[in-house]
A and B are shown apart, each in its own frame.
Chain A
Amino acid sequence: MRYNVELILSNENIPKDKNRIIISLLKHIYESYDKDYYVSLYENEENKSKSFAFSLYMPNCEFTREEIIIPNKKIILNFATADMRDGILFYNAALANKGKPYKVKDNSITINRINMNKEKIITNDYAVYSSMSPVVVREHKGDNEKTWYHSLNEEKGKEIFIENIKYQLLDSFGEERRLDIEEVDFQVLINKEVKVKHYGIEILSNICMIKVQAKPYILDYIYKSGIGSKRNSGFGMLDLV
């Protein structure tokens, strides 16, 4: 399920650490709509992996050193999820908060419009995706000291990326799909490294176009839930090319 939500700002500049604001907004709407659901997503389990991904589109924006300036005060929030339930709850929560300004930093966000986008159906055993938000390749061994972000231009980065994908798929499809998951392979078609400010640190990430070979249902899942690390924080959302 994919939605695009139009957000109206009261001020034309927002801090560069923009994902943080959106996460705050998401938490706010979930909490106000359905407390139980909010708790199950963000509080019950630390670092729970969630099934959705989002990205932002800011027309005609201008990046300055500390801030992003958006002249027409409009952000399009793209939201995608593979899980029906999450999709419906997102829609209901966003609808419930429609038109209510949410104060954040020196700005406020109002949800204006919610649209559902039609999803394409994947029938082939390969698909070409382009990233709607940067893809993160993170080497993470449970210790923040040793966490390292890789680029998809490097061999090491690709290795870790495929490892992460398989781990993600195994987690959601379970052991009985292991054979299908082992077969997953990918190529990077175009890649551009970027650095994104996220919770105070600069994260190396990739704006890329990749081709993935897998069973259609896996491709469909990747299409809907995003790829790479930090998917729920505004990274790794994909679109079909």
Chain B
Amino acid sequence: MGEKTRLYMEDWLYNSGLVGFYNVLKHAENDVVIKQNYIEFESDALVGFEKKYFNYFIDKYKDTLSLNKIISFEKFILHHEENNFENFNEKSLEFTNKYISDVAKKQIKSNSYKSAYELIESPVDILGLEKNLKTINLKKKQEIRDILPEIKDIFDLMKQVIKYMKLEESRKYIGAKNAMYSVIKNGWNGVCFLNPQTKEKDMYIDYKCYFIDPTIEYLNTDKSKFKYSCFSCNRKMKDFSNDLSFLNSTGFDVSRKSSHVWDFQNDIAVCPICKLVYSCVPAGISYLYDKGIYINDNSSMRNAIAINNKIHMGIYRQKDEDKKLTYKALVESINEEYNDKIKYELADIQLVRYEDGKYRFNILSKNSLKVIKDSEDDLNKLINCGFKEINTYFNVYELVIDRLLNSQNMFTLIQKMLHYKLSQPRDSYYHTFHITRILRINIRFLKGVGCMKGVYKDIVKEGNDAGEKLREKYRSKGSVDKLSGISYRLLNSLKTNNVDSFMDTLLNCYMYVKSSVPEIFLDTLKDEDKFKTIGYAFVAGLIEGRKENNTDNENGGKDNE
């Protein structure tokens, strides 16, 4: 032992594994040497790697693990006990009940917890405690004071539960179970401790047997007589037993679907070292619930580690309300990188996202990075905007970034948003000034790709103002209700790029209110992108007009223009 092993950077998935491998070792305070395109570690580091592995996840994903949700209730209990339940009101009771039914009872009874109890050596009968946990209902004519004894009983019970959960063993096993099902599962599945039929109940031992022991054994054997070579790192290996099908949306079942390889002879297999690295993929990619993000900065190992850790920190530093956004962290790290004066360091780097069980790829182009950077303000305003489509909630911020990363313009998104604003205002959580913000971002994007040359005046504002003014005129004629029909027609013309019908409708409107057509529309005739930009800005103004009361915008904060 004591030998050094080098692991070189390869494709993105392997790189994410390397970053994860590094993270795990670093977290356990092992020495790892980072060089330009490889990391080097001593074989000793593999001793007890399974503990380091789970510790990393339990610590890094602390906030999302359900174990911690249970424990976090302790603060609440202590607070009320200290104050002798003086502030305990109906709201607190509601909170307690919600906690008991949604968190405590639900989790304690869940299968993953049950299987962990078997591993924990403790005389406490946790399931028995769970049976006694009951929500407390305030009957009519009863006051909080009357049920205080009951509450105190429940709190005592809860304290026992929490005490159990805070045991070192509980943290070790329940935490590991949590990490397995909420984090690790996003990276790989179906083998080792994630195999539902696994024989070994203790995931630590399971991991050790499945990943680490073969690696150590492999490192110590003489490889000179091996015939085959690893698909990933080209090290010599004995046979093709380690395939890649355990990784999510990678690899395939070699025995059942051999048609994927040439001549039906599988040659895709990796050595135990690579397999161990691949098992660290979940530690490299930053996950937030079922979404993940990884930036494959493969120019240098150091950068790859730095940027991905930055993103991980970014995600978990966010305030609770916008925790849904993996992109927010990305944008923040991009902006930080910009400030670090290494402006173009990030350009042309692969961005990998894990969503809905699939990997998606983008290249961070110089242009989109610049647009994202320049649009920081506008983007921040969009964080809380969203709309519901059937039963799915879409966040506008993510949609916009998605489009920027894919180098798509926003017109179809704006079309959709305006349409929803008209047809189902209940499910569209944004104002039309958010749409003008998107239009501005879009102009920046279009300018970046070489369109909209020579646009210096603020056509979005002018278009929007024209819409607002026309709305005012309709209002003074008492026919505001006509506007939604008109807006539909205008939107249709914009969607189909039909300048003629747009202008026809527009002229009819202006004739109706007997006023002249604003000059800004003469600009629309020259250029398709201008036409759409001005047109959409106009419709946005037409639909909503000037904000009647500034205080009432819970979605998206104040628009300070």
Q: Which residues of A contact B (CB under 8 A)?
A: 1, 84-85, 87-89, 91-92, 95-96, 114-116
Contact = CB atoms under 8 A, between A and B. Distances in A.
Contacts of B511: 91, 114-116
A207 B289 CA distance: 78
B101 interface: no
Interface stretch (B37-45, B219-227, B499-507): B499-507
A84 B525 contact: yes
17 contacts: A1-B503, A1-B504, A84-B499, A85-B522, A85-B525, A87-B503, A87-B507, A88-B507, A88-B517, A88-B521, A88-B522, A91-B507, A91-B510, A96-B516, A116-B507, A116-B508, A116-B511
Contacts of A87: 503, 507
Top 6 A-B residue pairs of the complex, sorted by shortest distance between their CB atoms: A92-B516, A84-B525, A88-B517, A95-B516, A84-B503, A85-B522
B515 interface: yes
B514 interface: yes
Contacts of A1: 503-504, 507
A91 B525 CA distance: 16
A89 B517 CA distance: 8
Contacts of B508: 116
A114 B507 CA distance: 11
A87 B521 CA distance: 12
Contacts of A91: 507, 510-511, 516-517
Contacts of A96: 516
Contacts of A89: 522
A89 B522 CA distance: 9
B502 to A, nearest CB: 10
B517 A92 contact: yes
A95 B510 CA distance: 11
Contacts of B516: 91-92, 95-96
B338 to A, nearest CB: 42
A1 B516 CA distance: 16
The size bracket of the interface on B is: 10 to 19
Given A1-B503, A88-B507, A116-B507, A95 B514 contact: yes
Contacts of A85: 522, 525
Interface in B502-543: 503-504, 507-508, 510-511, 514-517, 521-522, 525
Contacts of B499: 84
A34 B284 CA distance: 65
A103 to B, nearest CB: 24
Contacts of A115: 511
A67 B55 CA distance: 104
A95 B515 contact: yes
Nearest to A98: B514
A27 B461 CA distance: 33
Contact of A84 (B500, B514, B515): B500
Given A89-B522, A91-B516, 8 more contacts: A84-B499, A85-B525, A88-B507, A88-B517, A92-B516, A92-B517, A95-B516, A116-B511
Contacts of B521: 88
B522 to A, nearest CB: 5
Contacts of B507: 1, 87-88, 91, 116
Interface string B248-292: 000000000000000000000000000000000000000000000
Contacts of B514: 95
Interface in B387-430: none
A84 B503 CA distance: 8
A114 B516 CA distance: 12
A74 to B, nearest CB: 20
A115 B511 CA distance: 8
A115 B512 CA distance: 10
Contacts of B503: 1, 84, 87-88
A160 to B, nearest CB: 32
A88 B522 CA distance: 8
Contacts of A116: 504, 507-508, 511
- Most chain A CB within 10 A, of B499, B504, B516, B521, is at B516
A88 B519 CA distance: 9
A131 B76 CA distance: 88
Contacts of B504: 1, 116
B516 to A, nearest CB: 4
A90 to B, nearest CB: 10
Nearest to B526: A85
Nearest to B508: A116
Contacts of B500: 84
Nearest to A94: B516
A161 B515 CA distance: 40
Nearest to B499: A84
Nearest to A95: B516
Contacts of B510: 91
Interface in B293-316: none
Nearest to B502: A84
A91 B516 CA distance: 7
Interface in B459-503: 499-500, 503
A89 B511 CA distance: 13
Nearest to A33: B516
A91 B521 CA distance: 13
Contacts of B525: 84-85
Contacts of B522: 85, 88-89
A87 B504 CA distance: 10
A87 B514 CA distance: 16
A62 B90 CA distance: 92
A16 B357 CA distance: 81
A3 to B, nearest CB: 9
Nearest to B503: A84
- Most chain A CB within 10 A, of B499, B514, B521, B522, is at B522
A95 B500 CA distance: 21
A229 to B, nearest CB: 27
B491 to A, nearest CB: 19
A92 B506 CA distance: 13
A129 to B, nearest CB: 20
A1 B517 CA distance: 14
Contacts of B515: 95
Nearest to B517: A88
- Most chain B CB within 10 A, of A85, A88, A89, is at A88
A116 B525 CA distance: 19
B510 to A, nearest CB: 8
B182 to A, nearest CB: 58
A92 B504 CA distance: 14
Nearest to A220: B500
